[in-house]
Structure 1
Amino acid sequence: MPELIDKNRGTLTAFAAAAVILALVPAMASGYIISFLLLMFANVALATAWSFFSGATRYISLATAAFFGIGIYTLAITHVHIPIGFALLAAAAIGFLVAVVVGLSTLRLRGVYFVVFTFGLTELVHQVINTWEIKINKTATRYIFSDVSNVTIYYTLLAVALIAVIGSWYVSQSRLGYALRSIGEDETVARHTGINTTHVKVLCFALSASVMALVGAALALRYPYIDASIAFNNSWSFQVLIAALLGGASRFWGPMVGAIPLVLLSEFLAGTFPHHFSIALGLCFIVIVYFIPGGIAPLIERYWYSLRARWRERAFAS
């Protein structure tokens, strides 16, 4: 661990400085800026959590909205019985446990079969909860009685985003990270080299899902009420996927880089084309796949190394 910190001291220092600056924003910013930034933190955390598992293993998951919605409903159900902090932890725990069950039964699938299943999982959970609410509870709506301020939600989501990004970086440098990448390269070879691929996949899938559920629970505190359509909106699955691909899922910081411009673009599109938002997102996806398939992060990295090489040449020349 100390060697890892020394090796990446510059990166960690930059993250610490950014965290301090972002922590000071609520003291100076307007309510709109705080709302916008907390939405950005939510997208950074979701995209990073998605890339943590799917980016490394190449198991493309469209189940983000399922775990996001599970977090929302866990918060909505539990917050009237326990403190908000425990309700948030309960959302993360339920998301983890559901993902363990789902992972054990489905992570044998690969390719398009896994994609289709995870997409269907959101709709399945959506319909089950919607039916339960209408048939058993006799209502399709749950109200959220909370006086939590936007500033508190801001700090909560900032902490979740930092944990997701730093945790993803740490795991990427560990044996677990190497195991994940080995699975992505060739799962059969990884299995033959002694990696317990089932345990690795299920654990990382569940950790990713717990972050998604926690983000959903935190954002639910902004809503006066929720229903199944709000909680299990598939737009979250596609938006997170696009953010991760735009930034570059091959780098731990790529999803963060991709989430920032995508949230800015989404805000513009939602205001300008409110009835064609999904079409606009689809066009963004096509542009990314065709023109920047590797994402922005490798381009930034290449430019940075080129710039450093020029600086060194000038330094030696002088």
Structure 2
Amino acid sequence: MSILKPDFIKPVAIGAVIFAALAFLPSFADSYYMSLAISVVSFAVLATAWSMFSGPTRYISLATVVFFGIGAYTVAVLGEIMAFPLVLVCAGLAGTVVALLVGFSTLRLAGVYFVIFTFGLTELVRQVVSWYEVNVTREMGRYVFLDITQNDIYWQLLALFAVLLLTGFVLGRSRLGFALRIIGEDETVAKHCGIDVTRVKVALFVLSALFMTLTGAIIAPRWTYIDPVIAFNPMLSFQVVIMALLGGPRRLLGPLLGVIPLTLLFEVLTASFPNHFSILLGCVFMVIVYLLPGGVVGLYEKYRAPKKRTLSSSPETTRKSEEKTA
């Protein structure tokens, strides 16, 4: 596939202009709005990375916080003894290794079994880290003191999101992306087509986990203190799934349509109803599942399809088509 085709250059150019404009946000936003912008961009990366795997394969993963927490804890452990770029590399390697182990051992599961395993994996990793802290380091939690400003975190997350979107754009037009779409429709058909289903799913799972891990690593300096409960909070996985489902996980920019409104909604709910956040989050999830099963993008495509069929079957369109054929 040539990356010099017009259908590749135009979206990339538009995206570059948009991201260049967003890079100037710290110039006129105060600390509160910068904090909100960081939350939006971090959730945008996590939800898009989740959709990169779960969208085409239709596997509902609740392991997002596992990789996010690995990235955050890597920074907490190595942040004061290594340069930050090298810490990011170490975090990415740690997340990749864990994703490979999890992928090859679990991606043969399907349906509810995969969901249950990924949810249990979060608790397993949290308990292992807690045991290590208590029995080996003899202290629970770590302080993070790095000379990284809020603006630096925002710019790093924005750059990571840009790389993620470019990766997803290229992936959607590659053979791997085509193979994933076949797997999502019917794994049996994919196997008969000669596709190595397990390797393809693991490759995409690892790629998705890498972006989640780097997000956790970049966010870590924002917190002064990190412990297993904070880093591996399972609520994060549910938030990411709900955001992706609201926007539409089967389109590259679909999750962004869920991230922006829900981040603002969760900000209000956390401030106004801190003791009832879990219940309200469950209500939001049920509303999305029952009323918007295909997300905002799916709803748009559902109402757009009849209009396109009507236009294509109109007498004027038919006459023009016949004239071209003649």
TM-score of Structure 1 vs Structure 2, range by shorter chain = over 0.9
Q: Which residue of 2 aligns with 1:76?
A: 76
CA displacement at 1:93 relative to structure 2: 1.7
Unaligned runs of 5+ in 1: none
Q: Which residue of 2 aligns with 1:160?
A: 160
Q: Give the Cα separation in 1 of the matches to 2:71 and 2:177.
A: 26
Kindly provide the amino acid, as one letter, of the partner of residue 159 in structure 1: A
Q: Secondary structure at the match of 2:222?
A: coil
On the 8 A contact 1:254/1:296 being kept in 2, the answer is yes
Q: Give the Cα separation in 1 of the matches to 2:5 and 2:12.
A: 8
Cα gap change, 1:5 to 1:19, in 2 (>3 Å): farther
Q: Which residue of 1 aligns with 2:292?
A: 292
Q: Which residue of 1 aligns with 2:320?
A: none
CA-to-partner distance for each residue in 1:80-136, whole Å, 9 max, x for gaps? 221011111211221111100111111111000000000000000000100110111
Residue 121 (structure 1) aligned with residue 121 (structure 2): yes
Unaligned runs of 5+ in 2: 318-326
What are the residue-to-residue correspondences of 1:206-225 with 2, within 5 Å?
Answer: 206-225=206-225
Q: Give the Cα separation in 2 of the matches to 1:262 and 1:157.
A: 19
CA displacement at 1:55 relative to structure 2: 1.1
Q: Which residue of 2 aligns with 1:151?
A: 151
Residue 260 (structure 1) aligned with residue 229 (structure 2): no
Q: Which residue of 2 aligns with 1:195?
A: 195
CA-to-partner distance for each residue in 1:234-253, whole Å, 9 max, x for gaps? 11100000011000011111
CA displacement at 1:165 relative to structure 2: 1.9
Aligned residues: 311
Q: Give the Cα separation in 2 of the matches to 1:170 and 1:236.
A: 28
Ranges of 4+ aligned residues in structure 1 off by more than 6 Å: 302-307
Cα gap change, 1:82 to 1:257, in 2 (>3 Å): same
On the 8 A contact 1:146/1:221 being kept in 2, the answer is yes
Cα gap change, 1:252 to 1:189, in 2 (>3 Å): same
Q: Give the Cα separation in 2 of the matches to 1:135 and 1:294.
A: 47
Residue 270 (structure 1) aligned with residue 270 (structure 2): yes
Q: Give the Cα separation in 1 of the matches to 2:281 and 2:160.
A: 25
TM-score in terms of structure 2 length:
0.90
Cα gap change, 1:10 to 1:296, in 2 (>3 Å): farther
Cα gap change, 1:303 to 1:80, in 2 (>3 Å): same
Kindly provide the amino acid, as one letter, of the partner of residue 239 in structure 1: Q
Kindly provide the amino acid, as one letter, of the partner of residue 20 in structure 1: A
CA displacement at 1:303 relative to structure 2: 7.0
TM-score in terms of structure 1 length:
0.93
Identity over aligned pairs, percent: 49
Kindly provide the amino acid, as one letter, of the partner of residue 141 in structure 1: G
Kindly provide the amino acid, as one letter, of the partner of residue 299 in structure 1: L
Q: Give the Cα separation in 2 of the matches to 1:221 and 1:300.
A: 39
Deviates more, 1:54-63 or 1:157-166: 157-166
Please, what is the CA RMSD of the aligned residues? Answer: 2.0
On the 8 A contact 2:3/2:9 being kept in 1, the answer is no
Q: Give the Cα separation in 1 of the matches to 2:304 and 2:30.
A: 34
